[in-house]
Structure formats: structure tokens, C-alpha cells
Structure 1
Amino acid sequence: MSSHAVPPKAVVAALHDALTFWLPIACAGCGLVDVGLCSGCRAALAASPHHRRTEAGLAVTSALEFSGVPARVLRALKEEGRTSLARALAPALASVIASVLAEAVGDDAVVTTVPSSRAAYRRRGYRPVDLLVRRSGWRPVPLLRVARSPRDQRGLDRAARRANVGGVFVSRPVRGRDVVLIDDVVTTGATLDDAARAVRVAGAGRVIAVTLAHTPRHRDRGA
């Protein structure tokens, strides 16, 4: 090797410095420069479990409220491709999954995720919910698949959301086992209800849901 060759570590460091100069990193939660997630925003991701039922009666436990820092960090993971943030979000999700398995369904339950649309997967190149579950210490079983592509749910009212996702999912056979459905955010619960319908048709026993975050409803805010 030539005596003028640059050591690999030096090359990596130089590239890192160059990228930091031209594409400065900022905290996903507050925008503080030169840190991916500051200590204050990391603390704001501590689990604060929230329980609710969907219109169809499905029990949902969420780890965080989808507002402020948690909402900004999750958006950065999903829409900006900052997959490293999954490690910071995972502890909150892991604690809720563990509590649900211990108290509601048991360790032999099937943990599965609600799949994203094909268009979302093509755009991102990864599945955020699967990534979050793996970082939380579980290996999700791929039960569900998208049978048809729904419209984007954003901007739709409750009735339109339910009609939009009705019949979207089909499931592999479950044969009497309990199922824990995991998604990133619950808003009206329409998507989770259709996923629950699909696994019940496939033979599931008890079905409950876990999400990383929940969108607060008006009565939640009032309380």
C-alpha cells in the first residue's frame, strides 16, 4: 500500500464531517442542531399508556399520545427515512406490548403487525411498524396482507375512514390462537377494526390491539 494512502477510518470521519456540514442533522423532536434526538426529547418518549375501545369494541392500548415530540419523531421515522429513531421509540412500545401479553392474552399469543399499503412500502422501502416491533424485541408473524389498496385516510371523517378500509385485509389461518395486532397510530380505529375482522375470520381467538401512539379525541382532551 502506498505511504500516501488514507486510512479507512480517516476517510469515514472525513465523509461524516462533510455530510454534517452540507446536511446538518437536527433533533427530530425539537430541531436542536448536531444531535439526532436530544436528551429532553428522548425523555418525552417515555411510555404513558392509554386505553380505549374502537367503534367495533376492539380494546386498544397505546404507548404515547400522537402530539408534540412523539408525533414529530414518528413522522421523521416514517416520512424522512430516519430509521435510527426506531430505537428511541421502541422502549415505550415494548413496555406496552409486554404488559398486554402478561395481563390480557398470554405469552403464546401471536404478535402481528398491520401492513402498510403497497404504495407506502414502495415509497419508503421499509415497513415502519415492523421495524418498531423488531426494535422492541419481538419478531412479528406476518399474518395479514392488503387485499386491495385503500385511499389515503388523511382528511376523511369517521364514516369515510371506515368505508375506505372495509375489507382491505385478509389473514393467514390462525387456528384458535389469541392475536395482538400492532400499528403505529390509532385515530378512529377503522383500520384496526378491519384487521381484527380479518384475523377473526381466519380463526383467531381473542384479539386485542397495541399502537405506539393514539390521536387524542375531543373527550380525551376535555378529560
Structure 2
Amino acid sequence: MSLAVAVSSAFRDALTFWLPVACAGCGVVDTDLCSGCRDALVAVVTRRLVEPGVTVTSALAFEGVAARVVRALKEEGRTSLARALAPALAEALRVATPAGARVTTVPSTRAAFRRRGFRPLDVLMRRAGWTHERLLRLARATDDQRGLGRRARRENIGGAFVSRPLSGGVVVVVDDVVTTGATLAEAARALRAGGADEVIAVALAHTPRRGNTEGKSRVIET
């Protein structure tokens, strides 16, 4: 563990000790996550076509309680919340992963790792009881995808990932939140280019698409 990561972890622990604990989902004090918000994290597994040839199996809608809890994990460093989110991710993986498939995750940027001091997907996968391989790496720097539309996301992430050489088989690639699907589509492209016969996409949560939003995804099975 680097000195920066150790300092970041110690700082988070100190804040947890000195500041009142509040529910990440609703803000009620004296609990990390109240029972009502915990119940809101029960998986409702959905398959969504988000890009041509890319169907994502996800467990939660990224809104309300689920969105607040995921943000608290990722941006506030409240890694203990992974324990409550993990069952939903485990259910999506169970539904989507065929026997013998290799499992990998979308790599985080170096900047994100330095900022957080940990990789959220690593924590979630470990809590979910799933092991994974690092089959993808970043080939170039990318901008933050937040706030970008579908076309801008494709352009930003295009060619960003490179896969380790693969000798066929099925690979399941996991992300925490899928919005337009551009990141998972690029990961799938890289894995196929690396030699995978089939790529299956899984996410903890999906962002609901409403109204005439650009690039609306289509629910194809629940």
C-alpha cells in the first residue's frame, strides 16, 4: 500500500470516529445504513440493450437510495457500504455468468485511484464473493464521462482499453454504473479484439432513461 493510500484511509477512519454517522440513503443519524434503505437495495435484475450488440445485466436502478449509497461508497470513501450493495451485484453476476466464463472489471483511471485511494469495483466484487482477473488495461487517458452525451462518451472512451491476449471463451466484464453503455461497449470491443469469443456485460446499477433523452436504452427482459 502506498503512503498516499494509507494516509487517505487513515483520514477516512478518523472522520468516521469523530463525526456522527448518518445513513447513506436517507441521512438519519447513528446508522451507516438504516433498515429501510437496506431494503431498497434488493436486486431487481434487468437486462438492457444499451449499445448495438451490448446487453447489460444490472441489479439496481441508479436513482434514489441506490444512487446515494453508490455515490457515498465511491466519492465519500464509505467502503463499509459495499457489504449492503454486494448481494445485488452477486445476484446480477449469478444470473448472467455461464459456467466456465472468465470475469473481469472495467479498469479505473490512475487519477480516480489516486483521488479515492481504492478501486470501488474491487471492493464490491470481493464483498460479493466473486474473484476476477485484470484482463483490461487503459491504453490512454480519458476525460471524466460524467455530463457527456452518448456521442461524446463514445468518442471519449473509444480505443481506451486494451485486452490481454485471450484464447477464445466467454468473458464477463463488470462495471459499477452503466449510463449510455459506451464504456462497457468499448470494454467488450477490446476483449473481442484480444480473442474472446463472447463478452457478457454486467453492472451493479443502470441509470434510468426517461422521456426523449438521447440514446434511450431499451429494457428487453426482467
Q: Please give the range of the TM-score, normalised by the shorter of the 2 chains.
A: 0.7 to 0.9
Matches within 5 A, 1:1-223: 22-101=18-97, 106-218=98-210
1:5 — aligned with what? none
Q: Compared with structure 1, are the counterparts of its residues 108 and 134 closer, same or farther at alpha carbon in structure 2 (3 Å cutoff)?
A: same
CA-CA distance at 1:221 after TM superposition: 10
Q: Partners in 2 of 1:24 and 1:196 — Cα distance?
A: 43
Which letter does structure 2 place at the counterpart of 1:155? G
1:12 — aligned with what? none
Which letter does structure 1 place at the counterpart of 2:138? V
User: Contact between 2:75 and 2:116, CA under 8 Å: does it hold in 1?
Assistant: yes
TM-score normalised according to structure 2 size: 0.87
- The count of residues paired between Structure 1 and Structure 2 equals 202
Where do 5+ consecutive residues of structure 1 fail to align?
1-15
User: Contact between 2:177 and 2:205, CA under 8 Å: does it hold in 1?
Assistant: yes
TM-score normalised according to structure 1 size: 0.86
CA-CA distance at 1:57 after TM superposition: 1.7
Moved more, 59-68 or 48-57: 48-57
Task: For residues 53-109 of structure 1, give each alpha carbon's deviation from its aligned partner in whole angstroms, at most 9, with x where no partner exists.
Answer: 1223211011000000000000000000000100100001101101112xxxx2210
Q: Compared with structure 1, are the counterparts of its residues 33 and 175 closer, same or farther at alpha carbon in structure 2 (3 Å cutoff)?
A: same
Q: Compared with structure 1, are the counterparts of its residues 137 and 52 closer, same or farther at alpha carbon in structure 2 (3 Å cutoff)?
A: same
CA-CA distance at 1:50 after TM superposition: 1.5
User: Contact between 2:69 and 2:81, CA under 8 Å: does it hold in 1?
Assistant: yes
Q: Compared with structure 1, are the counterparts of its residues 129 and 35 closer, same or farther at alpha carbon in structure 2 (3 Å cutoff)?
A: same
Where do 5+ consecutive residues of structure 2 fail to align?
1-12
The structure number with the bigger radius of gyration is: 1
Q: Please identify runs of 4+ aligned residues in structure 1 that moved more than 6 A.
A: 220-223
Q: Partners in 2 of 1:158 and 1:221 — Cα distance?
A: 11
CA-CA distance at 1:157 after TM superposition: 1.2
CA-CA distance at 1:205 after TM superposition: 1.2
